[in-house]
Amino acid sequence: MAAPLAAPQSKGGLEGVVAAETKLSHVDGQNGVLIIAGYPIEEFAGKVSIEEAAMLLWTGSLPSPEEAPLLQKELAGWRALRPETLDIIKTARNAPPIDALRMACATLSLDVSNPNDISPAGDLALAKRLLSRFPTVVAAHARLRQGLEPIAPRADLSLAANFLYMTFGVEPDPLAAKALETYWVTVSDHGMNASTFAARVIASTRSDMVSAVTGAVGALKGPLHGGAPGPVLDMLVDIKTADRAEAWLRGEINAGRRVMGFGHRVYKVRDPRAEVLAKTAEQMAGAHLQNAKLYDLARAVEKTALRVLDELKPGRNLKTNVEFYTALVLQSIGLQPDQFVAMFACGRVAGWCAHVMEQHAQDKLIRPQSTYTGPRHSALKR
């Protein structure tokens, strides 16, 4: 009898497996550090635009102060959608925003003469279109599902401010535009997360940028990856007041349910992105009384949750993650919870495109092994 085949070691979820070398971002979960292309996230988000952050990821350099306005003007020229894309969004008007974005994403190379060009120049051209058009898709979908016509983009506004204009039809609040921009930069890249890995696997086959990013959107949709900011608001609504927080939290934990906004696959201390967005949420709260009440409740719930989780889940290190304050920031600028994952994609697309470029340059097919656990029959019996 033949000796059994040696089985390679497997790790569930590829935990701890290094899948690629990258210059794009570094995540240190033990110490709560996130570095984006060389910059700590605390020194980066809120100080550069999403357009500038994207160019840093794509090219390795931040635009100079003289180049930044020219970059914004160039990217603004790619915001408009083709009629075919708008038709798809209209057809998907009743679908969740992330599904409408996934469907529309696949059409965003229709005006490219060679969408299969995976050279550095070809990838950069498509990256600029994707970053510029994702917010237009989400804004158009938001209007259509309310029975309103989409609003054409404006070239005189930043990407974030223009999104607010196209969504709400009024001059954007500068503070809200700054908050959205900070959020997008904060989530622009984050190591080898599920959606980024999906994009890199697709790109490793020498498939095109749009195919890879469309796959990434599909991965982001899953509730274990990008789907929890909305439920954070549901939790706060259920709790209602700070004095109810402890009993509510204990009830959820004792029932075996997850407390949204706490715990992370990588971070064993507070998510550094939560630190950035907590400050942004505080700034928004200071400008709006309704937001201030929700913010005060959230801070009280956070404090109680950390204490209760430490008591009931000792050693698990369930600290505040990015989703907790994402919910407050996006709610404060007038967005609905079911839009939150699509908004995540509008920021993360900068990183997805950068990883696709990096994978194309490495030109190595990603082909891991698997461990077979099925039966071994010696012969076919009938």
- Indicate which residues carry an active-site annotation: 264, 323
Distance of alpha carbon 238 from alpha carbon 217, whole angstroms:
30
Distance of alpha carbon 135 from alpha carbon 100, whole angstroms:
12
Is residue 43 helix, strand or coil? helix
Q: Are 272 and 34 in contact (CB under 8 A)?
A: yes
Q: Are 330 and 275 in contact (CB under 8 A)?
A: no
- Largest distance between two CA atoms of the chain: 77
**CB 362: neighbour CB atoms within 10 A?**
14
User: Mapped to the 3 state alphabet, what secondary structure does 297-349 carry?
Assistant: HHHHHHHHHHHHHHHHCCCCCCCECHHHHHHHHHHHCCCCHHHHHHHHHHHHH
